Chains A and B, each alone.
Chain A
Amino acid sequence: MTEYDFKLSQEIELLRLVAVGSVDDGKSTLIGRLLVDTKGAFEDQLLAVRKKRGQAHIASPEEIDLAMLTDGLAAEREQGITIDVAYRYFATPKRKFIMADCPGHEQYTRNMVTGASTANAAIILIDARNGVMPQTRRHTHILGLLGIPHLIVAVNKMDLVGYEQSVFEAIRAEMREYCAKQGIRDLICIPISALNGDMVAVRGEHMDWYTGKTLLETLETLSVMDDIDRKPFRFPVQLVNRPQTRELPDYRGFMGTIASGTVRVGDEVMVASSGLKTHIKEIVTFDGNLEEAFAPQSVSLTLTDEIDVSRGDMLVHPDTPPQDTRDLSANVCWIGAEPLTRRKKYLIKHTTNTVKAMVAEIEFRRNIHTLEQEAADALEMNEIGRITFRLQKPMYYDAYADNRVTGSFIIIDTFTNNTVGAGMIV
């Protein structure tokens, strides 16, 4: 039996990824390639999608219809398209990856926003033969808006352009310029052949002119935490735990996930909405009390004074309070079938807090092709714009650019209960 290195496994970190691209750029093939080369796909799953029936073993990845491996639903296999975000898992000895596989069709931008919202890094697929397409720009813009910390451009199908360096350089230059215009600085470009595997997990023999890391090495070495633990402390309260059992008659714990920052026993904390202050008495977990906790841990906090705190409140350090407003301005990506219109009322869920909101103003709609601001009286599905909401009560928040947890919200239609919008506070 092979030995398993348990010590190594205890150092593995999690990197959340999203892969985007236009139809046929080779996204499914790339994901299939990553799954095969990291052994994230099991043999029986591979056998189920082999091109020739009857083979008992897979000798090389070329025998597999890699795209079939990742396209999940019956409707998709029939139409040969991807219609919904799928999540894929693979791991190397250094990292575990959760990859959101987002479809490239124009009408499914909402899926891309969904898949990208939790990502630390994005892979943008470009077909080397076609270069930068309008779709590529649109996707890149949305990724920038969503504040994805690391963008990786994978210039695919290099085998079909003779592994020519100049083709890669031209695409890289164009993407760099486009990203610079939008203030996206961290851009990594890699030439690959998803089909043959060059520069994905191995370097291959055709692109010695490229001296950077392979795609997998890049993914293994990107920073994961992005200093979220050093940002101001934010603790949205999920639940108040009052067991009132014989053993715990007076226990009152505030349960939540630390959105950002670090908290220590003895810290002075403030309820953002009321300004009431007290101190941290204990940081309680099933595995014993902690002296210190940091984002994104889920813990329970007890306080030294009996002050009023409930779900939806946020505990913060008094010297680094959040902003507050009843007139909330945000970039909104509309994902509902019914358009967003002025004066319409919705619910906004922000951290653990749900408030009533009315559309006060559509400041502009962003033309996704030219990036120009345009006047608009509605946002249709898949459109992006700047919206001001009037809130029923104040919201305590940070700008999305500073904090992806306390700066984001979802918009809920009060009639259908569907999630119809994604908001990023400016």
Chain B
Amino acid sequence: MAERISEHRLTQLKALEAESIHIMREVVAEFRNPVMLYSIGKDSSVMLHLARKAFYPAPLPFPLLHVDTGYKFPEMYEFRDWYAREIGAELIVRRNEEAIARGMNPKEYGVARCCGALKTQGLLDALEEGGYDAAFGGARRDEERSRAKERVFSIRDEFGQWDPKNQRPELWNIYNGRIHEGESVRVFPLSNWTEMDIWLYIREENIPIVPLYYAKKRLMVERGPLLIPVYPGMEDQLHEGEEPVEVMCRFRTLGCIPCTGAVRSEAATIDEIVAEAAAARRSERETRIIDHGSNSMEDKKKEGYF
């Protein structure tokens, strides 16, 4: 009998995996028209992998939605199109064309306004257009202080907004998926994963990720504590006096080119990345330019952002 117990232990990654699969299946069972938000980053990669596991051997029972800003890294677009084809997923790409046509950019309009138009508004428009009543997102509670209180099922009103004071208690693993006409729910199956878990799982499961996560010599400018990438055609997003230099670095999170910082790193393999993450003294969000105001994430979430 003693043997049987040790045989029936789940490692913490397998326990997290089982929980995430359970959540995804509940959503597909209880909602009419779910969609998975796919941001091409490592968390999205893990979420998508879990979704494939959840519905195996059937194909994914929902499409992937990428809300594009036009400012993503070329490597991200390439990876997105390749991976969606590879696994046979239906990929929907939406952009806030109106804002893009008006030349929305972070340098002139500020990071908050640019994000508000291209990401938040782009997302709300795409969700409304698709008539989705549930949208999976890859956010984790360990990312930021206000995320720590996010529910797995996060109810949004008909304007897509989040009211932190009015969230449903979540008990056991029983999720209440009942909503009124016009309301929708954002679902976070990776709620209980940490950055470390994500990397360990990517390693254990051999999940493909965008090569930008691996260290390589890249053309960058230094802006305060951040390394900002320089891409052909985006020189106008550089600030006065910034000089591009080659730096051995990698990205801990992926976003828009002008707003995503890299870190100096030699970690060129997944094992080295895990080791680096284990030793890291700074949280990954620090390399995102948008998060630095005091309540910025909470404010963005109230307006409908993830």
Contacts and interface: CB of A to CB of B under 8 A. Distances in A.
Interface in A50-89: 69-75, 83-89
A151 interface: no
B18 A298 contact: yes
A88 B148 contact: yes
A98 B192 contact: yes
A335 interface: yes
Contacts of B146: 72-74
B28 A239 contact: yes
A335 B276 CA distance: 44
Chain B's interface: helix, strand, loop or mixed, by majority? helix
A296 B294 CA distance: 39
Contacts of A98: 192
Given A241-B55, A285-B53, A419-B168, A87 B174 contact: no
A286 B52 contact: yes
A389 to B, nearest CB: 16
A87 B173 CA distance: 15
Interface stretch (B4-12, B33-41, B104-112): B4-12
A11 interface: yes
A101 B272 CA distance: 33
B275 A4 contact: yes
Contact of A257 (B21, B59, B178, B274): B21
B196 A91 contact: yes
Interface in B26-54: 26, 28-29, 52-54
B173 A118 contact: yes
Interface residues on B, range: 35 or more
Contacts of A88: 148
A43 B54 contact: no
Contacts of A106: none
Contact of A417 (B28, B55, B179): B179
A203 interface: no
Interface in A236-285: 238-239, 241-243, 245, 248, 251, 253, 255-257, 262, 284-285
A56 to B, nearest CB: 11
B53 to A, nearest CB: 4
Interface in B1-27: 4-5, 8-19, 21-22, 25-26
Interface string A285-309: 1110000001011101000000000
Interface residues of A, number: 84
A373 interface: no
Contact of B279 (A2, A95, A287): A2
A87 B142 CA distance: 8
Contact of B172 (A408, A417, A418): A408
A209 interface: no
Contact of A86 (B12, B14, B149, B295): B149
A12 B200 CA distance: 12
A346 B48 CA distance: 36
A251 B57 contact: yes
A74 B295 contact: yes
Interface string B191-217: 110101100100110000000000000
Given A43-B281, A238-B29, A257 B18 contact: yes
B141 A87 contact: yes
Contacts of A96: 12, 194, 197
Task: Determine which residue in A89, A118, A294 has the highest number of CB atoms from chain B within 10 A of its CB, and name it.
Answer: A89
A359 B57 CA distance: 42
A9 interface: yes
A45 interface: yes
A347 B177 CA distance: 12
A33 interface: no
B282 interface: yes
B165 interface: yes
A113 B9 contact: no
B178 to A, nearest CB: 4
B145 A296 contact: no
B60 to A, nearest CB: 11
9 closest residue pairs by CB, A with B: A42-B283, A243-B58, A14-B12, A298-B21, A286-B53, A286-B56, A4-B275, A114-B169, A43-B281
Interface of A: 1-4, 6, 9-14, 42-45, 69-75, 83-89, 91, 95-96, 98, 101, 110-111, 113-114, 117-118, 224-225, 227, 229-230, 238-239, 241-243, 245, 248, 251, 253, 255-257, 262, 284-287, 294, 296-298, 300, 311, 335, 347, 349-352, 404-405, 408-410, 412, 417-419, 422
7 contacts: A72-B298, A89-B141, A89-B192, A238-B26, A256-B25, A405-B172, A417-B176
